[in-house]
Amino acid sequence: MALILAVDMAGVPSRWLVVEDAITYYARHMVAWSLGDVVATYRGGYSRLTGDRSELSTRSIISIKGAVDFNKRSQQPHLSNAALFSRDRHFCAYCGSRYRERDLSRDHVNPVHAGGEDRWMNVVTACRSCNIRKGGRTPEAAHMPLLYLPYVPNHYEHLILQNRRILQDQMEYLMAKVPRYSRLHG
């Protein structure tokens, strides 16, 4: 089932919600506004007075009242292999070939044993054979130049990297704020 994009009152995305959590925000009257298509409708009980059945629907993008504090934009997005491989579009930074996720690894441009950190700006996607060939050396020392440079995804791009089943209206909303240098545009 699709996830719901939660944004703050200013429209800044914060996180993905399961449909049930989004419906709970509607039931608690905490949704300030919404965009996109209706994703799900939940039906409740019948009114004794009118006989009408209650129902709540959620759209694909919802603004949650008072939710300005759960978007920590000053922090870098969480680095995971899945997000890294998505950022690099499953291309090895050394040979340039595209691989399935299970055939990829995280390579530290400046090796950890030499003081390199496990951060977005020091990691690239590498196929297993290139990573083994590079070993614990820098790309220069291994004579394996990088075909692309690492970068830190912005908040919008990171939300895209987290969700494999983004709806079209959610993607359009997020892509409007993804920088042009992002590999998501390629």
Alpha helices (H) in 17-152, listed in sequence order: 19-27, 81-87, 128-134
Helix (H) or strand (E) holding 171: helix 168-175
Q: Is residue 32 part of a domain?
A: yes
Cβ-in-10-Å burial (0-12, 13-18, 19+) of 143 comes to exposed
What total of structural domains would you count in the chain?
2
Q: Say if residue 53 is in the same domain as residue 111.
A: no
Q: Residue 68: its pLDDT value, please?
A: 53
Q: Residue 61: its pLDDT value, please?
A: 97
CATH number at residue 129: 1.10.30.50
Q: Residue 70: its pLDDT value, please?
A: 47
Q: Say if residue 12 is in the same domain as residue 42.
A: yes
Domain, as residue range, for 124: 81-134
Q: Say if residue 1 is in the same domain as residue 64.
A: yes
Q: Residue 138: its pLDDT value, please?
A: 96
Q: Say if residue 64 is in the same domain as residue 103.
A: no
Unique residue bearing structure tokens 């394996």:
144
Q: Is residue 39 part of a domain?
A: yes
Q: How far apart are CA 164 and CA 19, in angstroms?
A: 16
Q: Is residue 143 part of a domain?
A: no
| Domain C-terminal end among 134, 149, 174 | 134
Q: Say if residue 62 is in the same domain as residue 18.
A: yes
| Domain C-terminal end among 134, 153, 171 | 134
What SS3 state is found at 104? strand
Q: Say if residue 37 is in the same domain as residue 97.
A: no
Q: Is residue 144 part of a domain?
A: no
Q: Residue 71: its pLDDT value, please?
A: 45
Q: Say if residue 30 is in the same domain as residue 59.
A: yes
pTM of this structure: 0.74
pLDDT tens digit at each of 186 positions of the chain: 789 999 999 999 999 999 999 999 999 999 999 999 999 999 988 989 999 998 999 999 999 998 554 445 557 788 999 999 999 999 999 999 999 999 999 999 999 999 999 999 999 999 999 999 999 999 999 999 999 999 999 889 999 988 888 999 999 999 999 988 888 886
Q: Say if residue 48 is in the same domain as residue 97.
A: no
Q: Say if residue 60 is in the same domain as residue 99.
A: no
Q: Say if residue 3 is in the same domain as residue 28.
A: yes
